[in-house]
Amino acid sequence: MSEFESLLYPYPIDYEEVNEVSADVVVLGGGIAGCWAAIAAAKKGLKVVLVEKGATIRSGCNGPGVDHWANALTNPACPISPEEFVEATLECADGWFNGLTQYISCRDSYECLLEVEQMGVKVRDTEDEFKGADFRDEKTKLLYAHDEENKYVILLWGTGVKPALYNECTRLGVRIFDRIAASSLLTEGGQQGARVIGATGVHVRTGAFYVFKAKAVVMGLSVPKRVWTFSQELGGLFAHLGPNTSVGSGHAMAWKAGAAFNTMERSGKVSGGFSAFVDCSARTEGAWEPCGLVDSRGKEVPWIDRDGNVLDSIEARNKLAPGQKFNLSYPGTGWKHYYPWVPKYEFRRNTIIRDLGERANKGEFVPPFYGDTPGLPETYRRKIWGFMIGQEGTTRIMIYKHYLESGFDPEKDMVQYYGHYAGSGGYTGSPSGPEAWRELRAGPAAGGLLVDWDMRTTLEGLYAAGECVWATGGHSIAATTGRWAGRHAADYARQASEPVVSSDQVQQERARVYAPVRRERSIAKGAVDWKEFNLGISRTMQLYCPKTKNDEMLKIGLIQLQEFRESEGQRVFAREPHELMRALEAYDILEVGEIILNASLARKASCDSLEFYRLDYPEDDPPEWHKFLTVSQDNGKPKVGELSMNFWGSLEDNYESHYSPEE
Amino acid sequence: MEPYTVYTYPSVSTCGQPIIINEEVCTGCNACVEVCPIDVFAPNRETGKAPHVQHPDECYSCGVCVMHCPLSDEGAIDYRHPIMWAVRWKRKETGEHFRLGVADPPDPSRTPPVPGGKNWGGGGTW
């Protein structure tokens, strides 16, 4: 049935029910990071509970699949070291990147891939379908992407990863609580800043309440994915690179509990949404594969190396420039402006000409452009369509199946490249909407929870992994940090005292979460629909935290969010648990907005590398502001801290001294 | 608790209808309902009947409903692009122009480039 209609609500509802669950370790979020944390803690013999808002078997940003396994520096074919790789990524990001989690990932990534293989996921070309391809290692049968000479990104048949992780959790006795939205963290004595001893949650179908008591909590929730945008023109409520239920509830509850966040002032223009990756095979920055681009008359757009030399053959496009040791072709490293161009010459890769827009405007090329998959060698065509699209999260069905069944044939057809809508000089990606539509970026460039070498947050008992950690994102980084955080949470839980939950804190949270279902529902009497509330928050962020900001705008933004909390927020209603989930998400988006506004107020300087621009402090990254800023709440008041660049210290020494082995 | 009647409401924020269920083929097993991370679906109150696509505007196009449907190859459920996302393409040899959802599409590709051939993950064989 597809007509919009009201139905009898399909599930039994009980807003009175309270379920109490105890465990040694509670993991919030059943995505990649959460599953790895749960597995790691369970392998140490602890009682583990996993709490997931959707269905763990397929939820999270890579629920449907993954194609690239990044940071596999220790695989036998890779000649570069984790140390030099992390140094390069930090250099490309001008230092505004998480060296700590990047290093853990580079050391552990390949080991985690082998664990995934043990769980039954195919990671080698055992059927020799790519025999003889440039990007295949004939001995190990591993397939590589991006820098084919240094081989630090491995392709995998990744649609099976989530079911495999789910099965592994089940095998190890992890108790999985699906369809429960975590709503708050419980702290000792109910105090902000105190040890974290559990969490609460609401069942998104029945509305039942859950109290999860634990010696340690691992936060595996996502980066906030919709703060500035709530658009009717963008797809599916619009959340870039993930489910639209990933609104940053982890950030919101950790903020309320008193945890510190790093780099939350950073945001960038929304980088997708209109086209839902329709043209990814055509975009050099989308596929990072050597697909040609032709104009409407069939004229090929030249590929160039870092020195501007035109590359004549398709094979040369994935090779290094003369004298280059390695390139950073993977956009998972948080460098300036995220996609367009690796900023540092030393690590720059080959790509199409960068002045395509100007040259097209002068008439040299005639838009629209098309991705020339028919012109590729068969192995590369299957690499892009078979892996990039066939195994990657969300594109397997949406693009691979749907396009092919609709008559598109990558051997014969050239998909239109929608970059020509991007405006003069753009031509590098999909159209992306107004400047004020911003996002916290994908994990590698987004702010988030501050963690130490144990991946513990600033709160005792609270560990974090994956995208909710500052400047930490991507599948393999979620896996490696999840495993690391799960082990350390387990080590802590072993010696931690039995938690005592504050019944006041539980009662206050119950009152908060159920308020929307008990409120007036008549719009005429002042009731506010969750969508209007949500859009009001998003519009506040668009107006008062746009690309270029000043103290006055940011302060008005904070005042307006506070007004929304105390006024309209007290009138938001929900008629059933699904609406309640959305209403609670809107409250969390408001909290995230406050973190961002406070962090933005704290930085009294512009910083181009952070895509952070101040009208009142226009100087770019003056030396006295070349430092990380943290924000947290202390007794309900925002508190700013600072950290020097490279505050994590020696990568190798700290890794070794904080390594917790599997048991 | 007092028994009372509660409805589930469509809350339309976008106009797309990305999920198509063929009620003739669907057996109402609810595999899609159970795997959807968003709860786009509502199970049918009648056992064996197709679920309702209750929140199509909240679908984020992940496709796992199709991947987990035991009858997806038979057409019980499918994903289609809302038309604002309908991409165009050009056949290189002939210059013919097509669009997703065009009335008279070319024959589907018979040699899917994905390793292992046609396997959408249907029937749990991901």
Distance from CA of B80 to the nearest CA of A (A): 7
Report pLDDT for A388.
78
A394, HSE (Cβ side, Cα atoms, 13 Å): 23
Tell me the C-alpha distance between A184 and A591, whole Å.
12
Confidence of residue A368 (pLDDT cuts 50, 70, 90): confident
Taking contacts as CB-CB distances below 8 angstroms, the residues of chain A near B75 are none
Residue A237 or B76, more confident: B76
CA distances from A278 to A390, A397, A417, A419, B86 (A): 13, 12, 8, 11, 8
Report pLDDT for A275.
47
State yes or no: pLDDT of A453 exceeds 60: yes
Residue A191 or A295, more confident: A191
**Is B89 in Cβ contact with A416 (below 8 Å)?**
yes
B4 touches chain A (CB under 8 A): no
Of A63, A204, A279, nearest to B64 by CB-CB distance is A63
Say how many C-beta atoms besides its own lie within 10 A of residue A635's C-beta: 9
Partners of residue A441 on adjacent β-strands: none
Distance from CA of A129 to the nearest CA of B (A): 7
Distance from CA of A62 to the nearest CA of B (A): 9
Report pLDDT for A428.
42
Confidence of residue A102 (pLDDT cuts 50, 70, 90): very high
Report pLDDT for A201.
98
Report pLDDT for A94.
86
Three-state DSSP string of A366-390 = CCCEEEEHHHCCHHHHHHHHHHHHC
Q: What is the pLDDT of residues A50-65, one digit of tens each?
A: 999 999 999 998 999 9
Taking contacts as CB-CB distances below 8 angstroms, the residues of chain A near B11 are 531, 579, 582
Q: What is the pLDDT of residues A611-662, one digit of tens each?
A: 899 999 999 999 999 999 999 999 999 999 999 999 999 999 999 999 999 8
Confidence of residue A169 (pLDDT cuts 50, 70, 90): very high
Distance from CA of B2 to the nearest CA of A (A): 10
B125 touches chain A (CB under 8 A): no
**Is A407 in Cβ contact with B81 (below 8 Å)?**
no
Q: What is the pLDDT of residues A540-563, one digit of tens each?
A: 999 999 999 999 999 999 999 999
**Is B85 in Cβ contact with A235 (below 8 Å)?**
yes
Report pLDDT for B123.
31
Q: What is the pLDDT of residues A460-481, one digit of tens each?
A: 999 999 999 999 988 999 999 9
Residue A552: CB partners within 8 Å, gap ≥ 6?
none
Of A6, A278, A381, nearest to B113 by CB-CB distance is A381
Of A9, A390, A412, nearest to B93 by CB-CB distance is A412
**Is A157 in Cβ contact with B87 (below 8 Å)?**
no
State yes or no: pLDDT of A485 exceeds 90: yes
Q: Which two tokens stand for residue A625?
A: 């502001």
Q: Are A66 and B40 in contact (CB under 8 A)?
A: no
**Is B39 in Cβ contact with A159 (below 8 Å)?**
no
Mean pLDDT, residues A504-520: 97
Chain A residue with the nearest C-alpha to that of B96:
A413
Lowest mean pLDDT among A43-52, A203-212, A390-399, B112-121: B112-121
Residue A418 or A630, more confident: A630
Tell me the C-alpha distance between A577 and A6, whole Å.
15
State yes or no: pLDDT of A259 exceeds 70: yes
Strands A261-262 and A628-634: antiparallel
Taking contacts as CB-CB distances below 8 angstroms, the residues of chain A near B55 are 578
Partners of residue A19 on adjacent β-strands: A210
State yes or no: pLDDT of A598 exceeds 50: yes
State yes or no: pLDDT of A407 exceeds 50: yes
**Is B111 in Cβ contact with A242 (below 8 Å)?**
no
Taking contacts as CB-CB distances below 8 angstroms, the residues of chain B near A235 are 14, 16, 60-61, 82, 85
Taking contacts as CB-CB distances below 8 angstroms, the residues of chain B near A2 are 17, 19-21, 53, 56
State yes or no: pLDDT of A345 exceeds 80: yes
Report pLDDT for A334.
45
Residue window 67-106, chain B: list those with CB within 8 Å of chain A: 67-68, 78-82, 84-85, 87-93, 98, 100-102, 105-106
Say how many C-beta atoms besides its own lie within 10 A of residue B110's C-beta: 8
A485, HSE (Cβ side, Cα atoms, 13 Å): 42
Q: What is the pLDDT of residues A18-56, one digit of tens each?
A: 999 999 999 999 999 999 999 999 999 999 999 999 999
**Is A55 in Cβ contact with B35 (below 8 Å)?**
yes
Lowest mean pLDDT among A103-117, A270-284, A354-368, B15-29: A270-284
Distance from CA of A59 to the nearest CA of B (A): 5
Q: What is the pLDDT of residues B86-108, one digit of tens each?
A: 788 999 999 999 998 888 888 87
Of B61, B98, B107, nearest to A235 by CB-CB distance is B61
**Is B68 in Cβ contact with A408 (below 8 Å)?**
no
Strands A48-51 and A175-177: parallel
State yes or no: pLDDT of A427 exceeds 70: no
Residue A271: CB partners within 8 Å, gap ≥ 6?
A240, A338, A339, A429, A430, A432, A439, A441
| Closest C-alpha to A336, from A97, A617, A620, A99 | A97
Residue A230 or B75, more confident: B75
State yes or no: pLDDT of A422 exceeds 60: no
B37 touches chain A (CB under 8 A): yes
**Is A578 in Cβ contact with B66 (below 8 Å)?**
no
Mean pLDDT, residues A186-208: 98
Report pLDDT for A343.
65
**Is B60 in Cβ contact with A239 (below 8 Å)?**
yes
Q: If DSSP codes are grouped into helix, strand and coil, which group holds residue B122?
A: helix
Confidence of residue B117 (pLDDT cuts 50, 70, 90): very low
Partners of residue A196 on adjacent β-strands: A187
Residue window 5-34, chain B: list those with CB within 8 Å of chain A: 5-21, 23, 34
Tell me the C-alpha distance between A193 and A587, whole Å.
21
Confidence of residue B14 (pLDDT cuts 50, 70, 90): low
Q: If DSSP codes are grouped into helix, strand and coil, which group holds residue A216?
A: strand
Assembly ipTM: 0.92
Of B8, B15, B82, nearest to A7 by CB-CB distance is B8
Distance from CA of A591 to the nearest CA of B (A): 22
Mutate which of A402, A514, A529 to disrupt the B interface (most B C-beta within 10 Å)?
A: A402
Q: Which of the listed ranges A121-135, A292-306, A526-540, B73-87 does the model predict with the highest average pLDDT?
A: A526-540
Report pLDDT for B105.
87
Of A7, A403, A404, nearest to B52 by CB-CB distance is A7
Of B10, B61, B108, nearest to A405 by CB-CB distance is B108
Q: Are A229 and A270 in contact (CB under 8 A)?
A: yes
Confidence of residue A279 (pLDDT cuts 50, 70, 90): low
State yes or no: pLDDT of A172 exceeds 70: yes
State yes or no: pLDDT of A333 exceeds 50: no
Report pLDDT for A337.
46
Chain B residue with the nearest C-alpha to that of A235:
B60
State yes or no: pLDDT of A284 exceeds 90: no
B115 touches chain A (CB under 8 A): yes
Mean pLDDT, residues A127-152: 91
Taking contacts as CB-CB distances below 8 angstroms, the residues of chain B near A234 are 14
Taking contacts as CB-CB distances below 8 angstroms, the residues of chain A near B7 are 6-9, 575-576
Confidence of residue A434 (pLDDT cuts 50, 70, 90): confident
Mutate which of A277, A413, A421 to disrupt the B interface (most B C-beta within 10 Å)?
A: A413
CA distances from B49 to B22, B34, B123 (A): 11, 15, 19
**Is A385 in Cβ contact with B113 (below 8 Å)?**
yes
Distance from CA of B69 to the nearest CA of A (A): 12
**Is B67 in Cβ contact with A64 (below 8 Å)?**
yes
Report pLDDT for A271.
64
Mean pLDDT, residues A490-512: 98
Of A7, A59, A411, nearest to B42 by CB-CB distance is A7
State yes or no: pLDDT of A238 exceeds 60: no
Mean pLDDT, residues A277-292: 62
Number of CB pairs < 8 Å for A and B?
244
Of B9, B108, B116, nearest to A575 by CB-CB distance is B9
**Is A237 in Cβ contact with B57 (below 8 Å)?**
yes
B56 touches chain A (CB under 8 A): yes
State yes or no: pLDDT of A444 exceeds 60: yes
Q: Give per-residue burial for B85-95: e unless 16+ CB within 10 Å, then b.
A: bebbbbbbeee
Residue A92 or A180, more confident: A180
Confidence of residue A419 (pLDDT cuts 50, 70, 90): low
Confidence of residue A573 (pLDDT cuts 50, 70, 90): very high
